Homo-oligomer: A and B are copies of this chain.
Amino acid sequence: MSNNNALAARVRGTVHVIGAGLLGASVGLGLRERGVDVTLEDQSPTTVALAADYGAGRLRTAQDPEPALVVVATPPDVTADVIERALTTYPNAVVTDVASVKLAPYLELLRRGLDLKNYVGSHPMAGRERGGAIMARADLFVARPWVICRDHETPAEALALVEDVALDLGATPLEMTPEEHDRSVGLVSHLPQVVSSLLAARLIPASEQAVGLAGAGLRDTTRIASSDPELWVQILGANRAPVVELLDAFGKDLASFADALRDPEQTGAKRRIADLLSSGNRGVARIPGKHGSSERFTSIMVLIDDTPGQLGRLLTELGELGINMEDLRLEHSPGAQIGFAEIAVLPEVAERAVTDLVERGWRTL
């Protein structure tokens, strides 16, 4: 509670959220929970009414004073326009946005000759970017990185205000320049999206028999290929330069790999194939796990059948045994009434976990 009041005190006024979709409404819900006064605005009267009904804030009236903070949470292609309008309409408010690309809107605002001392771009890395207010949650940002962009002219108070909001919504604020941000998300989000989509697109002309052989590897690599194309056209278009550079570099690696495989007798070809594959090992080891480090866990495969509750029983028993699961993945095959739960645990408890599970009648690998 002291925390809540502290934020409300710091904000000293109203937070105005423009764009009442998933992100905007979630910001509203989270801030309302912490006692902040939130007003809402959206192009669509239905959307804003729905978000207000959900408790994400109230509609702004002509009597309302200027907000202390404006959060722009509109689709990427109108972000710069909406930021400009906010800076003009509320000249004393700090304005931030939550768009997933940061350099293009910033350069556009500079190009328009706006005074950007009150603008602090930001980007909460919050799961899915689709879904409307109906999907909003006060805890959407909990434990997510929230990138905050600054330049040398950004006043410390403006920066601190946006960081406080990120912290109070449960996120982990990270400072980056817009360039660093865009290159980073290009690598960890936009490149994987394009690669996954193109990989999945290759399945269209395949025979039914061929796709019938698909296993967990294909399912994992193509999962994000089901993302919303319309949104991704906007994101990729707004982050063109870094993504093109990454695609070109990836394409070069791919061509080099294909050439080595095409002509394995050329000098160093086999070595090149092996090197690229083991670079993959080292690259994947850099991805932070659940606890923010690159530590790896030990996997235990447990056989489960397809009846309701069996997996629940397994996990309840793990709980009873005091074994914390770091990750869990289900693996099953077409037509199977049986599958495997792959449970990741800390290496030091793996052996005991297996012994205890087998003792209770589970079949493990």
Contacts and interface: CB of A to CB of B under 8 A. Distances in A.
Interface of A: 125, 127, 135, 137, 139, 142-145, 147, 172, 174, 176, 180, 183-185, 187-189, 191-204, 206-207, 209-227, 229-230, 232-233, 236-237, 240, 243-244, 246-251, 253-255, 257-258, 261-262, 264, 270, 273-274, 276-292, 303, 306-320, 322-325, 327-340, 363, 365
Given A309-B315, A318-B309, A333 B143 contact: yes
Contact of A329 (B198, B279, B329, B365): B329
Contact of A337 (B143, B210, B312): B143
Interface pairs A-B: 3 shortest CB-CB: A309-B319, A312-B315, A143-B336
A254 B198 contact: yes
Secondary structure at the A interface, as helix, strand, loop or mixed, is helix
A29 B238 CA distance: 56
B325 A328 contact: no
A308 B349 CA distance: 13
Contacts of A127: 215-216, 331, 340
B207 A184 contact: yes
A143 B333 CA distance: 6
A219 to B, nearest CB: 6
Given A221-B220, A323-B308, A334-B292, A273 B233 contact: yes
Nearest to A200: B283
5 contacts: A176-B209, A192-B218, A200-B284, A202-B283, A222-B287
A261 B194 CA distance: 11
A282 to B, nearest CB: 6
A321 to B, nearest CB: 8
A121 to B, nearest CB: 15
A127 B197 CA distance: 24
A185 B217 CA distance: 11
